[in-house]
Amino acid sequence: MYDLIIVGAGPAGVSAAIYASRARIGTLWIDNRFIPGGQISDSGRVDNYPGIPGVSGADLGEKLHAHAKSLGMTPLREKVLSIERQQDGRNVRFVVTTKKNRYEARTVICSAGASHRMLDIPGEQELSGSGVSYCATCDGAFFKDRRTVVIGGGNTACEDALFLARLCREVTLVHRRDELRADAVLQELVRQEPKIRILWNTVPRAIEGEMQVTGLKVCNVVTQEESLLETDGVFIAVGTTPNSALVRDLVQTDPSGYVCAGEDGVTNVPGLFVAGDVRTKQLRQVVTAASDGANCVESVQRYLRSQR
Ligand code: NAP
């Protein structure tokens, strides 16, 4: 029986593992991804994590995991299938079942993060991997000197458009409103980049192509005019959805599926804590995820003391 099982090894999970190690909590750490760092490993450049300006997401992921490893913490590479809570009088235990094993712990920190959201338009699924991508840094190189479209108006869409502009002949940013949501500094860079054209008030309707993407059908929401953009690639950057499926039946979530918890990571289920992008919060960033992991371990310690 462990004192703590941490599920997920993005910045929140790494930070929880570091703090748990230093607090000498008997911890098992599980993550099924082979690439360290969670979602940031897809990010070409992270420029807002204090002290490490201009680091690539992949390098930051490596650094985070190396730090945890130096304290004796390395995640087990197993896919978690379920998390159950069992109670016998005052004794609470969580049973975490993976593809290979079954583990028990007094507490669980779920730091499973979030995944890219899909558009759910015709052609998206069919052409995924054949010109439709959710990761510009992973797939951008396939579109060297070609035309690409990025859908979305947030930080990811702007970063993707800037990344692709370094490689592609032209990049069209398709956004459903007349104002971007991205940080001001990214908006400035996008507007200054001559290879990026922005289509405002425009929503995607369908992705066209037989074996490979050839175009994107769009509609202007002001004029209702439909048109076809010829393109070789469609990069979808329309936000994320929480990876809360493992705990959704146990715990209170908001209508979008984020687990309801404050900065302390405390949920409505005693012994179950959440950290990082999977929880309700104002700002989903590496720095806030790392902060969550630390706070959660403090909450775990208080809880374990209260159970003695
Ligand atoms: P986001 O901030 O939620 O932005 C999603 C964008 O997609 C929004 O512009 C949204 O439009 C648009 N959108 C959503 N659903 C759509 C649909 N069905 N059709 C068309 N457009 C749709 O997501 P994100 O950019 O992936 O960022 C996620 C989180 O990670 C944010 O907290 C972000 O700050 C953070 N992040 C930070 C960095 C960084 O700091 N370097 C980099 C990447 C991500 P509306 O604007 O109209 O809602």
6, 104: one domain: yes
Number of domains in the chain: 2
With 90 as the cut, is the pLDDT of residue 93 above it?
yes
Using alpha carbons, select from 96, 144, 135 the residue that is nearest to residue 237: 135
Q: What is the CATH number of the domain that holds 246?
A: 3.50.50.60
Domain-terminating residue out of 236, 259, 294 = 236
Both structure tokens of 114: 């979030």
Question: What whole-number distance in Å separates Cα of residue 205 and Cα of residue 216?
Answer: 7
186 CB within 6 A, ligand 1? no
User: Distance from the CA of 156 to the center of ligand 1, in angstroms?
Assistant: 6
Q: What are phi and psi of 130, to 5 degrees?
A: -120, 45
240 CB within 6 A, ligand 1? yes
180, 271: one domain: no
- Sorted by sequence, the CB contacts under 8 Å of residue 80 that are 6+ apart come out as 7, 30, 32, 96, 97, 98, 246
pLDDT by residue (tens digit) across 249-280? 999 999 999 999 999 999 999 999 999 999 99
208, 245: one domain: no
- The bridge status of strand 233-236 relative to strand 132-133 is parallel
184, 76: one domain: no
257, 111: one domain: yes
Both structure tokens of 187: 């908006």
Residue 138's pLDDT band, with cuts at 50, 70 and 90, is: confident
239 CB within 6 A, ligand 1? yes
Sign for the pseudo-dihedral over CA of 30, 276, 1, 269 = negative
Atom 26 (ligand 1): residue with closest C-alpha?
239
156 CB within 6 A, ligand 1? yes
Residue 177 Cα: closest atom of ligand 1:
47
Residue 241's pLDDT band, with cuts at 50, 70 and 90, is: very high
Q: What is the mean pLDDT of residues 70-82?
A: 97
264, 194: one domain: no
Atom 30 (ligand 1): residue with closest C-alpha?
284
278, 203: one domain: no
Question: What whole-number distance in Å separates Cα of residue 304 and Cα of residue 248?
Answer: 23
Domain-terminating residue out of 236, 270, 297 = 236
119 CB within 6 A, ligand 1? yes
130, 228: one domain: yes
Say what the pLDDT of residue 36 is: 87
55, 99: one domain: yes
Instruction: Identify the three-state secondary structure at position 43.
Output: coil
Q: 115-134: b or e for each residue (b if 16 or more CB lie within 10 Å)?
A: ebeebebebbeebbeebbbb
44 CB within 6 A, ligand 1? no
88, 32: one domain: yes
Q: What is the mean pLDDT of residues 101-110?
A: 98
Atom 14 (ligand 1): residue with closest C-alpha?
238
83, 218: one domain: no
User: Distance from the CA of 154 to the center of ligand 1, in angstroms?
Assistant: 4
pLDDT by residue (tens digit) across 150-209? 999 999 999 999 999 999 999 999 999 999 999 999 999 999 999 999 999 999 999 999
Residue 137's pLDDT band, with cuts at 50, 70 and 90, is: confident
Domain-terminating residue out of 219, 236, 253 = 236
> What range defines the domain where residue 101 resides?
2-115+240-306
9, 155: one domain: no
Residue 238 Cα: closest atom of ligand 1:
7
